Structure 1
Amino acid sequence: MLQVETDSLGRSIELFYEDVGYGPPVVLLHGWPFDHAMWEEQAFALATGGCRVITYDRRGFGKSSKPADGYNFNRFVDDLKALLDALDLHDVTLVGYSMGAGEVVRYMGRHLGQRVTRFALVSAVTPSIIRSKDNPEGADDARLDDVYTRIRADRFAFIEQFVAQVFDGSGVGHATVEWIKSLAEPASRIAMLSCVRAFAETDFTGDMAAAINLSSLVIHGTEDHIAPFASNGRRTADLLPGCIFRPYEGGSHGLFATHASMLSEDLLGLVRTPPSQTLPPTVF
């Protein structure tokens, strides 16, 4: 556990993390409302492929502390920075899935990409998910209000329905579906609700401008109905003109399970790619 903050009553706020393997460091950021264990297949492949793999639970989720507040992207990436600093990681490959992709690009904007030389965005909610002039296919307020209401009414029924939508008939086995559902159940109700507002109300377009000089990989399923391919995958790649863009034909939102081997190979390929540009030493 890593202490990242102390609240007004002196209570410690801690992040649970795992650190396995040897080699270039890869930090994996999980999606909402799951925890670090969703990366099981990729963590194994990366660690056995010669990487040092760090996974952790976002505050409010998994085995990390569950405070009553602090659920916004600035706080999340400050937690990430605290972890990278505590482990003294350098030349990091940062990988974010879904909501975690938003944390990756906010980290670039808020902390200037310190310690990071490559990143991957998988099934990303970037650059935004809310409907707007620039994102006409995004979600409207009524849809997000419905998500909020369903969580408040019956959080466990919502988790069951959401996981079904993540895989969207992609043939993932019953045991795997049940396991993924179990990763969401320890989440704080406050954290789940607060994060709906956080990723719905955040536009990451400005943050992405800070990331264009790093080697990057964007992976998105063409049949993703949670973060649609056109409004999230394609728009994200367009804002990173130097990225490698890998559409997964027919893929749903849950690529970490439905395309586990392919995703692992693509991430290993990114780790082995020389950085496109080294950031100025002053940011490290």
Structure 2
Amino acid sequence: MPRITAEDGVNVFARDLGEGDPIVFLHGWPLNHRMFEYQYTHLLDEGFRCIGIDLRGYGKSEKPYGDYSYDRFADDVRAVLDELDVDGATLAGFSMGGGTATRYMSRHDEARVDKLALLAPASPVITEKPDFPEGLDESDVNPLIEGARTDRAKMNADFAEMLFHTDQSDELIDWIWSLGMEASGQATIASAETWRDADLRPAMDDITVPTKIYHGVHDEVTPIEITGAVLEEGIENAELIRFENSGHGLVADETETVNEQLAEFAG
């Protein structure tokens, strides 16, 4: 599987499987492309090309000390799409990956992307701003960052327990924990500060492609009324799809429905 060199020389890992219409997956914090395992299984069988990117600092990508901004992540995605010669893609971003996808569409003029799928996105803005009192208080987010500084293993375990509305096996929770532990500590801290502080509302004006927002109504990490509803209103050609039995981790809470929705939208 290829490692693509970004403009600053950092190697970014991408898994490129299958043929057909491409779907490019951007993972959430603090995981990696493997979180979409049960999407790949279904969508490859349906005839899609699935490309999973490990954002820098995560999974099998290099883990430099330094910049973990949405601009940097978006530039890395562009490097991957250019190197793999991807065109007409559905860009699917989960949580922090949704923020990365939102920024990509604005910063790179929707290059190589025909459709946008945002899953429980950490976008456009999570925490309170002077003109956005609906956001979470920073005190709701900072314990995750402090936990990453002091006991990242416990923080990842606690975060994994927050993700789901339906019962999941202990083994799946352990697997989620293990994906988080593959990240670098500095990337975990710095990118959490990115999604905590970001305000991507201006980027919404630049998104013109058909957009679906898939969001669990029980999401406690990126609540639907803060993110999904704002994106639907702010993106010209967007539709919010509510998942009534999902929390933040809708890819496991309602796997079959997510897979069917993605296949229908991307086809």
Task: State how 1:238-257 maps to structure 2 within 5 Å.
Answer: 238-257=233-252
Provide the residue aligned with 2:23 in structure 1. 26
Deviates more, 1:225-234 or 1:142-151: 142-151
TM-score, normalised via structure 1 length:
0.90
Q: Deviations over 1:209-232 (max 9, x none)?
A: 111x21111110011000011111
Residues 70 and 103 in structure 2, CA contact (< 8 A), matched pair in contact too:
yes
Cα shift at 1:45: 1.2
Deviates more, 1:29-38 or 1:147-156: 147-156
**Residue among 125, 139, 142 paired with 1:142:** 139
Q: Does 1:203 align with 2:199?
A: yes
Q: Does 1:54 align with 2:51?
A: yes
Q: Which amino acid aligns with 2:150?
A: A
Q: Which amino acid aligns with 1:224?
A: D
CA distance in 2, matches of 1:33, 1:162: 9
Q: Which amino acid aligns with 1:179?
A: W
Q: Which amino acid aligns with 2:13?
A: F
**Residue among 174, 177, 190 paired with 1:194:** 190
CA distance in 2, matches of 1:88, 1:38: 24
Residues 245 and 253 in structure 2, CA contact (< 8 A), matched pair in contact too:
no
Task: State how 1:226-245 maps to structure 2 within 5 Å.
Answer: 226-245=221-240
Provide the residue aligned with 1:118 in structure 2. 115
TM-score, normalised via structure 2 length:
0.96
**Residue among 104, 110, 128 paired with 1:131:** 128
Q: Does 1:164 align with 2:161?
A: yes
Q: Which amino acid aligns with 2:237?
A: G
Matched residue of 2:10: which SS?
strand
Q: Does 1:263 align with 2:258?
A: yes
Structure with higher Rg: it is 1
For these two proteins, the number of residue pairs brought into alignment is 266
Runs of 5+ unmatched residues, structure 2: none
Q: Which amino acid aligns with 1:4?
A: T
Matched residue of 1:229: which SS?
coil
Residues 123 and 253 in structure 1, CA contact (< 8 A), matched pair in contact too:
yes
Residues 135 and 231 in structure 1, CA contact (< 8 A), matched pair in contact too:
no
Cα shift at 1:172: 1.1
CA distance in 1, matches of 2:215, 2:203: 19
Deviates more, 1:28-37 or 1:13-22: 13-22
Provide the residue aligned with 2:170 in structure 1. 174
Cα shift at 1:194: 0.1
Q: Deviations over 1:233-260 (max 9, x none)?
A: 1111111242232100131000111111
Matched residue of 1:192: which SS?
helix
Q: Are residues 143 and 245 of structure 1, via their aligned partners in 2, closer, same or farther at CA, if it must alter by over 3 Å?
A: closer
Residues 96 and 122 in structure 2, CA contact (< 8 A), matched pair in contact too:
yes
CA distance in 2, matches of 1:62, 1:139: 28
Provide the aligned C-alpha RMSD in A. Answer: 1.4
CA distance in 2, matches of 1:134, 1:122: 25
Provide the residue aligned with 2:64 in structure 1. 67
Residues 245 and 254 in structure 2, CA contact (< 8 A), matched pair in contact too:
no
Q: Which amino acid aligns with 1:233?
A: G
Q: Which amino acid aligns with 1:264?
A: N
Residues 23 and 91 in structure 2, CA contact (< 8 A), matched pair in contact too:
yes
Cα shift at 1:29: 0.4
CA distance in 2, matches of 1:133, 1:230: 18
Q: Deviations over 1:120-142 (max 9, x none)?
A: 00001111001124432322222
Provide the residue aligned with 1:108 in structure 2. 105
Provide the residue aligned with 1:77 in structure 2. 74
Matched residue of 1:167: which SS?
coil
Q: Which amino acid aligns with 2:15?
A: E
Provide the residue aligned with 2:151 in structure 1. 154
Q: Which amino acid aligns with 1:80?
A: V
